[in-house]
Structures are given as C-alpha cells and as structure tokens.
Structure 1
Amino acid sequence: MSTSLINTEIKPFNATAFHAGKFVPVSDADLKGKWSVVFFYPADFTFVCPTELGDLADNYAEFQKLGVEIYSVSTDTHFTHKAWHDSSETIGKINYPMIGDPTGVITRNFGVMIEEAGLAERGTFVIDPQGKIQIIEINAGGIGRDAAELLRKVKAAQYVASHPGEVCPAKWKEGEATLAPSLDLVGKI
C-alpha cells in the first residue's frame, strides 16, 4: 500500500452476506454509526482462515458488548460462505456477517487484493462510527491473527476516541493509565 488509509473514510460498496441463516444485503452505510471490524481472509475451505474466523466467533460476544460489529470478507461468494458454514463445525459457530466479494470491489477498496491470485490478504480494519479507518493490520498468508489482541486494540481505539488529548501506551489494557502528551513528557518516558 503506497498511501495510508488511516483516518480515511471507507469507500462505497454493496454486497451480499451470509448472516443468521439468510442472505442479506450489506453496504458501506451499514458500517457507519457504530464501530466495525472488517476482517479479510484469503478463502473459504482453507487452513489458517477457519482458525481465525473461529477465534473471532469465540470472542464475538465481547466485541458485541463494545458495540462492535464484525464483518468477515473473502472473494468467495455468499453461497460458498453458506456451504462452509453448513459443513464446518468451526465456521458453523459464526454469528457475524460473512460478506461475499466475488468481484473484488471491497477487497480492492481496502487495498488488500492479491491481484495475481484474486484473493484477499489477511487484512484487519477497525472503523469508527464516522466510517473512518482507525486501525490497519495486514499479515502474510501463513500468519494467523489473534481476536483477543484485536479486542484490546479496539478498546484502545474507542478509549482514545472518547478521551481527546489522551493516548494509550504500548500493551495498554482497559483500566490502565494512559498518557496526556505534553511538552513536560518529552524525554521523560
């Protein structure tokens, strides 16, 4: 990615997701007004992907308590998502929307398309209620992500958004001290 997407507004899209046993429309408008995580992965019926999506499913209630919706996205169709959901015990426990992006529009909008393969990178995007990207993480294909670490980062993003003038230091966890950047702190940390 040549330019950072941090603090940029998400681009318009319309797609179909498999969610709660149905095919439902999802658009960029659905991501606005609340915190969202858009979780790209290469493909259904693969190896690392189900471990990541299952980990998110196991932590989904915690994200929901924070008012966060999760959207998983791959370049598979919503039909393929349903078939995977119906055939895999791990994927069967998913309660968040699984967006199909067979045209790659959403994947390209977020800059994570592997053009020669037609697949998405392992990209994670945290989007604030204004529709602006606050966190970006992209992993190589063989490196799985951790939902608990993502949850910590979302809490930090929400804290900073609701406490102007404060920042969260490395390894910050909810309830721990934050920093208020000032001239007095320069060289003291």
Structure 2
Amino acid sequence: MSHMEDVLDVYQQPADPRRPLVCLDETSLQLIGEVRTPRPVRRGRPARYDSEYIRHGTANLFLAFAPLTGQRVVKVTERRCRGDFARFVRDLVDGPYAEAERIVLVMDQLNTHATTSLYEAFPPREARRIACRLEIHHTPKHGSWLNMAEIELSVLRRDLPERIARRDTLDRHVAAWQQRRNTRGVGADWRFTTKDARIKLRKLYPTTEP
C-alpha cells in the first residue's frame, strides 16, 4: 500500500519544469516476417495474410512518458539488460531533461530498474551524477497499472503493424508514432487519488486493531 499511495501522491503534484514527472516502462516485441506476400484489399475482398510466419528474433522498447506535458521518448534496443536501462536513463538526464534539477521518475520494480544498474554500466562518478538527478518512485508489485507509461505502450503496440520483420522498419514506425503523439501533445489526466484508493480498494489494506 505504501508504494501505491506514494505514486498516487506524486501524480497529484502540480507541474514543475524543474522537477518533471516522467513514467518509464519497457516491453519486448517479436520481429515476425511473412512466408508469403500478403494480398492487399481489393473490391469485395479483404486483405489476406498467410497464417504462417518467420521469426526474426525480438526487440525491446523503452518508453519514457511525461503525462503533464504530453511528451514521450521511445528507444528500440536489442535487449533490456541493466546497461540498456542505464543508457536510456542517462539519455533522458542529458537530453530532454538536461535543464531539470531532478526527474521525478515512476517505474515498476523490475530488478534492472534501480540505481545499481547505473553503477554496473558507468564509472562510479558518472553513475552518481546520473543517480543524483533522479527521484525514483516505484509502483507496487502487481500494481503496474499505476504506471502511466504502461498505458502509452499499449497505445503504441496497437498502432504498430501486426507483423514487422526488420529492426529498421520497427525504428521507423516507432519514430513516426512518437512524433505524431508529441506534436499533438497527448498527455494524461490521472484522477484516481489516494482518497479514492482508501475507499475503492479498502479490502487490500491490512486490518488494524483499535
């Protein structure tokens, strides 16, 4: 409950350019190619795809979403190890949020989502520099629905073609999606509060004796 209420309280804080709210999440995708060339839509006939496909490995998507400003950063990587996470966070700190005092970072409790990953990827001085720019808030275990980046990843997955065979093709689709969403400034208006949680989720709270 403590993690949930902590995140919900963070979501109620007003926008502050010096301390931007950023939600981070990641997901993996299979790269899948066609065995036979799909037939496009024709008058009186729908598009037709063969049920067979060829696997071309996997790719990982890191996504950082700023719900109050409607901006997001997506990066495609081959893996999602500690080093990949660390480099993505460093790019946020030194890139779009270089002027921020600290990034208020919300993410789940995946074992790579910790400042220890920075120390495995960078020399101690660099790792400490990055870590000092972060204010980390973890969602509870089995409570990833509290992470608004998960919502954005769901939107992205629905927008991608059902089958993508090549990494460079995925890169292009992701970059185009990011640009469209950022240009429109699509944010999120989170309204579920700690007060709501104590009423609607009261059965999840431990029982205390008077």
TM-score by length of structure 1 reads 0.35
Which structure's residues are more often helix, by fraction?
2
**Which structure's relative contact order is higher, taking Cα pairs within 8 Å and 6+ residues apart?**
2
